[in-house]
Structure 1
């Protein structure tokens, strides 16, 4: 499969990756033949790019740290919990903890995979996929930094719920209370949770140079969990920001994060993040320095900027030849541009 701009999608093409709804159910299944109505609906939901099946790249898949089954389960549980809160009731800490246990189980099994954020974001599922991505990335960073399982569980719950203060809070919308304060207030009363979980929501917008919010903490005043979540949160926001924000490609987002090292973001946390992320994810189209164009089909852990590229040369209307260029071996060839 390969990633394409939604504006280039035509009816009759087959979807390459399942798209989830806001309650964890399947909105569109992988392999479904797209209709004009489906394409129009995806555009209306804010989708800008999707994965399509492609005969030249049918063997290409994206390694997922979190399985589709786990994502469905976590989205469903987050949806139920947040709707409970919107109705003025208290959410089940036990259900959230069980969701995090399953997510952490996937992370532990797949901790050597590079992070490739490939889920199709819509206006409806965005909040939940954001929470899952921040939780997954934070957990992988925590593993790399030597956190034990108790610490990882605290970090993961805090990461999953870091934006809980944004839930239909008029005082947040009107600017009278930063959502970090509200998130802290909501979570600190959960006796089943460590107070450190509440501090993740409280501190994830603080900057190590003291210019952040809501309290202007700096350096060691910010807990490690919050420093980790700050990096994961910022990366996901750079890739999938709001409709009025420019959405960056992974390599652009990584460049911007590096520019924040020691200013907004913790240098050591950022170093660990760069070891787990795929700068050029599988399925994206790129232009190489030798003027060839192709699709990323493979990764090298430890060399995120040197993936494997498959170039398709159309020799005639009926024939085509494929050539794979491993940039780890071809050291004089570089990626000049990401096309989608």
Structure 2
């Protein structure tokens, strides 16, 4: 598979990854042949990048930590929870708990992988995929930091529900000065009364926009006043929002750019120790991404090295359809070659 801009997708190409609707149902299945109408519709509903099947890279997998069943369950349950809150109804905490357990089972089975956030976003599913990604990133960091299973479940649940207070709000509403109207307070108030959830889960929603330098919201907490769970979720939330901004006008960073931006936030917005763990487990050049090397050759990232996220294996293809010359450069071995740019 290759990861390309929707502007470069051509009719007749085959979709590489399933796209989900906002309620967790399948919008388009992997393997479907794309038409002009499909591409136009995907563009209209907010899709900017797609995975496309390519015979030269058919062995390239996105190495997803989560199964398709787990993803679909999480998106569906988050959609149900947000819709229930919008309509003033109760929502099923047991189903949320089951989704979290499925996610943790997948993560612990694949914990040697680097995390690659590869699911296709639309305007409808963006909020729920964001929650899932924050949960995934937070869970992997929690495992690497030695949390036990009960702690991991609290962390993962808090991460999945961290933005539940946004239900029924616009982004503009959330900027209103009254702190009690901020989505962190609203989320805390909704979660603290759920008997199946510990109070720490509610505090993740309350504290995930606090900053270690004391300039965060809603209470201006500093350093150790912020719970470790909230520090972890803050890093995960920041990363996912840098690579997939909420506001269309905001600049979308590539994964390696987002990691650099986050390191500049160390001990200001984000906790240094959490950032160290984060940078060890996230893939900054995801499989399928086209890159230009310092040798001026262009290729596609095909494999990752655990512990060396900036040194993947890159496949370079030269020639024409009658005869291709294919070689792979392992940047963990070719120490003088670097990735200069990510191409769309």
Cα deviation, 1:293-322, whole Å, max 9, x if unaligned, reads: 0000010011111100000011x4511111
Unaligned runs of 5+ in 1: none
Match of 1:117 in 2: 117
Q: Report SS of the residue matched to 2:97.
A: helix
> What is the match of residue 235 of structure 2?
231
Describe the superposition over 1:49-100 as per-residue Cα deviations: whole angstroms up to 9, x where unpaired: 1011111101111111111111001111111222122111111111111111
1:132 match: 132
User: TM-score, normalised to structure 1's length?
Assistant: 0.98
Provide the aligned length of Structure 1 versus Structure 2: 339
Q: Which residue of 1 aligns with 2:60?
A: 60
The alpha carbon displacement at 1:172 in A equals: 4.0
Q: Of 257, 271, 293, which residue of structure 2 is paired with 1:266?
A: 271
The alpha-carbon deviation at position 197 of structure 1 amounts to 0.4
The runs of at least 4 consecutive aligned structure 1 residues that moved more than 2 Å come to 169-174
Q: 2:141: which partner in 1?
A: 141
SS in 1 for 2:50: strand
SS class of match (2:281): coil
Residue aligning to 1:189? 193
1:309 to 299, 306, 314: 314
Displacement after TM superposition at 1:140 (Å) = 0.5
Tell me what 2:93 maps to.
93
Question: Does the Cα contact within 8 Å between 2:175 and 2:182 map onto a contact in 1?
Answer: no
Separation in structure 2 between the aligned mates of residue 190 and residue 172 of structure 1, nearest angstrom: 25
Are 1:154 and 1:196, in contact at CA under 8 Å, matched by a contact in 2?
yes
Residue 73 (structure 1) aligns with: 73
1:312–1:323: 8 Å Cα contact kept in structure 2?
yes
Residue 37 of structure 1 aligns with which residue? 37
Counterpart position of 2:336: 332
TM-score by length of 2: 0.96
Alpha-carbon distance in 1 for matches of 2:105, 2:140: 12
* Contact 1:15 1:34 (C-alpha < 8 Å) held by counterparts: yes
Q: In the TM superposition, what are the counterparts of 1:207-226 in structure 2 within 5 Å? A: 207-226=211-230
CA RMSD of aligned residues (A): 1.2
| Aligned with residue 240 of structure 1, among 237, 241, 244 | 244
Could you tell me how far apart the structure 2 residues matched to 1:246 and 1:173 are?
20
- Show the counterpart of 1:249: 254
Q: 1:317 to 1:70 in 2, by over 3 A?
A: closer
Is structure 2 residue 279 aligned with structure 1 residue 279? no
Note if contact 2:85-2:168 (Cα within 8 Å) is conserved in structure 1.
no
Gaps of 5+ in 2: none
Structure 2 CA distance, aligned partners of 1:303 and 1:276? 9
Match of 2:10 in 1: 10
